[in-house]
Chains A and B, each alone.
Chain A
Amino acid sequence: MTAPSASLAGRAVQARRQQVLPNGVLGMLVFVLTEVMLFAGLISAHAIAMAGATEWPPLNQPRLPVVVTLLNTVALLVSGGMLAWAQRAWRRSSQTVNPPLFGALALGLFFVLMQGREWVALIREGLTLTSSTYGGFFYLIVGAHALHALAAILALAWAWRRLAVGRLAEAQLATVAVFWYFVVLVWPFIYIRVYL
């Protein structure tokens, strides 16, 4: 478009529309804001239930696997780090983006599969959605996170495919990355509040 430049009382009219951030990234940030509040809601509901309970966890319910999940947490954090590495690599030269992006994707998948394995074990030991409020909150919160992780992994896989065929734009990678960072960074809070 051809906007004339003019000025009024010392104010210069810029000739183009100005974007604060690329549309996709900004939209995703706004969405993540809601997601943060969703998990804040879940975690505070959990805290209120915990504060009101006489025994938490209930004596007849299995304990959660603290150590294995800690390792899994580390895997997820490393995955987030690899994505940051991929974004940095992009800004330098797009050659080395593929390996760290794939690493982030693979570690994310590893995290979800490990969580699934734990769920199977816990269900066998008698912790289910309806076995107690304790179990209910566990599956609700961890399950909500797992759904987000799966969605984010699909997005990462999409980005990785597009990179392979050379059609990935930097803003698209950034948009996906915002969501993955959210999934990664909200997890330690869940780990501390729910597992410890």
Chain B
Amino acid sequence: MATTTVDAHAHDSHAHEGPKGILGYFWSTDHKVIAQLYLWTGMFMALIGGLMAYVFRMQLAFPGKPVPGFGVVSPVEYNALVTNHGTIMIFWVAMPVLIAAFGNFLIPLMIGADDMVFPRINRLSYQVFLLSAIVILASLVVEGGGFGGAWTAYPPLSANPAYNLTPLGATLWVVAVALEFVAFLLGGINFIVTLMNARAPGMKAYDIPMVCWMIVIASILFMLSVGPLIAGAVMLLFDQTLGTGFFNPAVGGDPILWQHLFWFFGHPEVYVVLLPAIGVTVDIVATFSRRKLFGYRLLLYTAVGIGVLSFFVWAHHQFIAGIDPRMANIFTVTTLLISIPVIEMFFVVFATMYGGSIRLTVPMLWALSFLAEFMIGGMTGIYLGSSGSDIYLHDTYFVLAHFHYTFFPIAIIGGFAAFTYWFPKMYGKMLDERLGKIHFWGTIISFNFIFIPLFILGGLGQHRRIYNFQNFPELAPYQPLRVVATTALVVMLLFQLVFFWNLIKSFRRGVPAPKNPWESNTLEWTADSPPPHGNWPPDQMPVVYRGPYEYGHPGRESDFWPQNVPPAREA
């Protein structure tokens, strides 16, 4: 057995078989079980975040009217809903699903290891994450209600209970976010060390599937950027609870300091979630185009380049926060520079598809729509990154639509792409393609109907984080656009029922999945579906002979060439 992959004292946990009972599930060290836990917790949080959006969008479309299932939304509740919607979607949905769930599931399987190198740290990671999720949910129902100072938590609003009126909610919010960071630190260490140390014999650096690279680069970015924010979070917590004044100008503190600490993390964070989604897309597109990935190394180096650049753009969030205009110029240049490597990654994917024999399966549809929709987000970022136009656009719905055109493709579209692609491996069942397509088109079309109206409203000058636009005579007439967006949101939420129906259907009577339903090359498809504890029988651990994207090789009968097939056996 590949005992070298598991560190010595954690190994005893491997001796007994998979999880026993419900509690055993939460105590398992198996990377696949932990992946499931992250996945389902993330999906549950996505549901909560989605319902929050439903409530506050209803308030915006029909101000003051009782929202079915919730009642009349008060201004304080509105702020808490908007704040926690954003916080939850980024920290409890995008990160756990794309990075933690798929990182945990895929990295050991794709590099041919039997588990993570630190299984017990991995388990601890999920447990801390679960605790953080409980704390953020609890913060919504404590005395005074949930924190309402926006997901960016700018002081002095966030620092002083006299301003935010949520003494408990604000503190629990900070605690929850800090716990979530701890969980991801533990997970990230595992991902990085596992990829470095536990690869199957023969797997060189350039034989690693792109999605593993991307998750690991994203983890490194996260580890490098989160430190200053942890410092800031502790300072904010002290300001809230101990009466220090780090961010309080009245006693010599500096509120802008928080913005620097937050965005120094916040901007790299957007690439932390973008890179795994690109990795998923690349793997899916190569498989379903039956073509070798165009420019493997180019893509890898580009991702690293993006990572480096992303540390030098943060102040584009602060163009009108009173920073030196000369600094605004510098950050405009760095921000516009970063669009170059981003679009380069997209061209790599297009070049991969060029001349391929494309199979439009459900995962492929999701992957292609990721490219199309994200492009809109990236293009609009250019207007925001130019400090001149951002003076007008800052904090309008244009910004809001911009980042939803980036985050939604990443977290939701990328998440569905990965989920539908690896579902057969995870559960040993095939999903229904027809239901999958209905769900896909319903979600994509309604998504655009939500956010295109919001782009228009932003261009008209509608500001974010406002409870009722009827109070603004020059904005009130655009109410039909708000109603369209809200209606589209409700439609999109309803289309998710199709997804759940598809899930239930395939769990109950889905077609059993073969080992390699998509005729893919990477190692996870050589394990059983679903893979057993330890992934492969100890005497059949895979060995790697070639890169992951050898599709359509000239002179071979079959159009794919799995990484583990020895050349000799075929000759």
| A35 on the B face (CB < 8 A) | yes
Interface members, chain A 34-48 (any B CB < 8 Å): 34-42, 44-45, 48
Do residues A20 and B235 form an inter-chain contact, with CB atoms below 8 A? no
Q: What distance in Å separates the Cβ of B416 from its nearest Cβ neighbour in chain A?
A: 31
Residues of B within 8 A of A23 (CB): 7, 117-118, 193, 197
- Residue in contact with B224 in the complex, picked from A37, A136, A137, CB distance below 8 Å: A37
Q: What distance in Å separates the Cβ of B225 from its nearest Cβ neighbour in chain A?
A: 7
Q: If the complex has contacts A38-B231, A140-B235, are A20 and B196 also in contact, measured as CB distance less than 8 A? A: yes
Q: What distance in Å separates the Cβ of B409 from its nearest Cβ neighbour in chain A?
A: 28
Do residues B244 and A136 form an inter-chain contact, with CB atoms below 8 A? yes
Taking CB as reference atom, which chain A residue is nearest B569? Answer: A6
Taking CB as reference atom, which chain B residue is nearest A55? Answer: B252
Q: If the complex has contacts A38-B227, A39-B227, are A136 and B538 also in contact, measured as CB distance less than 8 A? A: no
Do residues B566 and A130 form an inter-chain contact, with CB atoms below 8 A? no
- Residue in contact with B246 in the complex, picked from A30, A39, A133, CB distance below 8 Å: A133
Q: What distance in Å separates the Cβ of A132 from its nearest Cβ neighbour in chain B?
A: 7
Q: If the complex has contacts A30-B223, A48-B257, are A4 and B566 also in contact, measured as CB distance less than 8 A? A: yes
Q: Mark A99-123, 1 if CB is under 8 A from B, else 0.
A: 0000000000000000000000000
Count residues of B near A (Cβ-Cβ below 8 Å): 61
Do residues A41 and B252 form an inter-chain contact, with CB atoms below 8 A? no
> In the complex, A37 Cα to B161 Cα: how many Å?
30
Taking CB as reference atom, which chain B residue is nearest A58? Answer: B252
Q: What distance in Å separates the Cβ of A190 from its nearest Cβ neighbour in chain B?
A: 13
Looking at A16, A34, A130, A133, the one whose CB has the most chain B CB atoms below 10 A away is: A34
Q: Mark B198-220, 1 if CB is under 8 A from A, else 0.
A: 11111010000000000000001
Residues of B within 8 A of A6 (CB): 543, 545, 566-568
- Residue in contact with A130 in the complex, picked from B227, B232, B242, CB distance below 8 Å: B242
Residues of B within 8 A of A37 (CB): 223-228
| B400 on the A face (CB < 8 A) | no
Q: If the complex has contacts A41-B228, A49-B257, are A26 and B201 also in contact, measured as CB distance less than 8 A? A: no
- Residue in contact with A41 in the complex, picked from B192, B204, B227, B254, CB distance below 8 Å: B227
Q: What distance in Å separates the Cβ of B190 from its nearest Cβ neighbour in chain A?
A: 8
Binds B, one of A7-15, A72-80, A81-89: A7-15
Q: Mark B533-571, 1 if CB is under 8 A from A, else 0.
A: 000001101011110000000000000000000111000
> In the complex, A131 Cα to B197 Cα: how many Å?
49
> In the complex, A13 Cα to B244 Cα: how many Å?
59
> In the complex, A17 Cα to B252 Cα: how many Å?
56
Residues of B within 8 A of A53 (CB): 252
Q: If the complex has contacts A13-B543, A41-B227, A136-B238, are A27 and B189 also in contact, measured as CB distance less than 8 A? A: yes
Q: If the complex has contacts A17-B198, A30-B188, are A40 and B544 also in contact, measured as CB distance less than 8 A? A: no
Q: What distance in Å separates the Cβ of A136 from its nearest Cβ neighbour in chain B?
A: 4
| A67 on the B face (CB < 8 A) | no
> In the complex, A132 Cα to B204 Cα: how many Å?
55
Residues of A within 8 A of B188 (CB): 30
Interface members, chain B 236-260 (any A CB < 8 Å): 238, 242-246, 251-254, 257, 260
| A188 on the B face (CB < 8 A) | no
Looking at B7, B121, B223, B539, the one whose CB has the most chain A CB atoms below 10 A away is: B223
Residues of A within 8 A of B232 (CB): 41, 45
Looking at A11, A17, A21, A37, the one whose CB has the most chain B CB atoms below 10 A away is: A17
Q: If the complex has contacts A16-B201, A48-B260, are A133 and B252 also in contact, measured as CB distance less than 8 A? A: yes
Residues of A within 8 A of B197 (CB): 17-21, 23, 26
Do residues B201 and A17 form an inter-chain contact, with CB atoms below 8 A? yes
Q: If the complex has contacts A17-B2, A30-B223, are A1 and B257 also in contact, measured as CB distance less than 8 A? A: no
- Residue in contact with B261 in the complex, picked from A4, A27, A39, A45, CB distance below 8 Å: A45
| B234 on the A face (CB < 8 A) | yes
Q: What distance in Å separates the Cβ of A105 from its nearest Cβ neighbour in chain B?
A: 22
Taking CB as reference atom, which chain A residue is nearest B265? Answer: A41
Residues of A within 8 A of B200 (CB): 17
Q: If the complex has contacts A6-B566, A136-B244, are A19 and B4 also in contact, measured as CB distance less than 8 A? A: yes
> In the complex, A24 Cα to B225 Cα: how many Å?
22
Taking CB as reference atom, which chain A residue is nearest B121? Answer: A27
Do residues A132 and B251 form an inter-chain contact, with CB atoms below 8 A? yes
> In the complex, A4 Cα to B545 Cα: how many Å?
11
| B168 on the A face (CB < 8 A) | no
> In the complex, A33 Cα to B226 Cα: how many Å?
10
Q: Mark B114-135, 1 if CB is under 8 A from A, else 0.
A: 0001100100000000000000
Residues of B within 8 A of A33 (CB): 220, 223-224
| B87 on the A face (CB < 8 A) | no
Do residues A35 and B227 form an inter-chain contact, with CB atoms below 8 A? yes
| B345 on the A face (CB < 8 A) | no
Do residues A130 and B243 form an inter-chain contact, with CB atoms below 8 A? yes
Do residues A140 and B7 form an inter-chain contact, with CB atoms below 8 A? no
Q: If the complex has contacts A1-B538, A8-B545, A45-B231, are A14 and B201 also in contact, measured as CB distance less than 8 A? A: yes
> In the complex, A39 Cα to B220 Cα: how many Å?
17
Looking at A1, A20, A38, A41, the one whose CB has the most chain B CB atoms below 10 A away is: A41
- Residue in contact with B201 in the complex, picked from A15, A31, A44, A134, CB distance below 8 Å: A15
| A3 on the B face (CB < 8 A) | yes
Q: Can you list 29 A-B contacts with CB-CB less than 8 angstroms, sorted by A residue number? A: A2-B539, A3-B543, A6-B568, A11-B545, A13-B201, A13-B543, A16-B201, A17-B2, A17-B5, A18-B197, A19-B196, A20-B197, A27-B190, A30-B223, A36-B227, A37-B226, A38-B231, A41-B227, A41-B230, A41-B231, A41-B232, A42-B231, A45-B261, A49-B246, A49-B257, A129-B238, A130-B245, A132-B252, A133-B252
Contacts from B to A (Cβ < 8 Å): 1-2, 4-5, 7-8, 113, 117-118, 121, 185, 188-190, 192-193, 196-202, 204, 220, 223-232, 234-235, 238, 242-246, 251-254, 257, 260-261, 264, 538-539, 541, 543-546, 566-568
With A17-B5, A136-B245 given, name 10 new contacts (CB 8 A): A3-B541, A17-B4, A19-B4, A23-B197, A27-B190, A33-B220, A49-B254, A133-B245, A140-B235, A140-B246
Nearest 5 A/B pairs, CB to CB: A41-B228, A37-B227, A38-B227, A13-B202, A41-B231
